Amino acid sequence: MGLQLRLLPIEGIKEEIKGSGNFLNCEKDKVLFEQIEQINASTVPSDFQAYHDTEEGFVYGSLTKDAYGTELNYVFVKELLKFKPNSESQTNKAIWAYLKQLPPEGKIALYWN
């Protein structure tokens, strides 16, 4: 779908989805991104909020579509951890180390830009 991927760890308890106060900018990794695109994802709720780019810089607010105007989706951490980033990408390896510390049932929104 996209050339860049920003992962948004979702805050919330069990079924409730509030938003994301963090974001993780992945380095380009065509193979990894193609694998992630194949995950069966769910749409974030209409009141989802997260940090995102605006003309004024990063702001926290409503975010329900990615940079392409596509509905913002989320996947479970355990699904992302089935894949491994390119061994040469220090950034993506660090992001995957972070993901390993989250609960497997944790949710991550996928913001393609």
* pLDDT average, residue stretch 76-91: 95
Q: State pLDDT tens for residues 24-74.
A: 999 999 999 999 999 999 999 999 999 887 777 888 899 999 989 999 999
Distance of CA 74 to the CA centre of its chain: 7
Confidence of residue 2 (pLDDT cuts 50, 70, 90): low
Residue spans of beta strands (DSSP E) within 10-67: 19-20, 24-26, 42-43, 49-54, 57-62
pLDDT of 79: 98
Q: Which carries the bigger pLDDT value, residue 93 or residue 13?
A: 93
How crowded is the C-beta side of 27, counted as CA atoms within 13 Å? 13
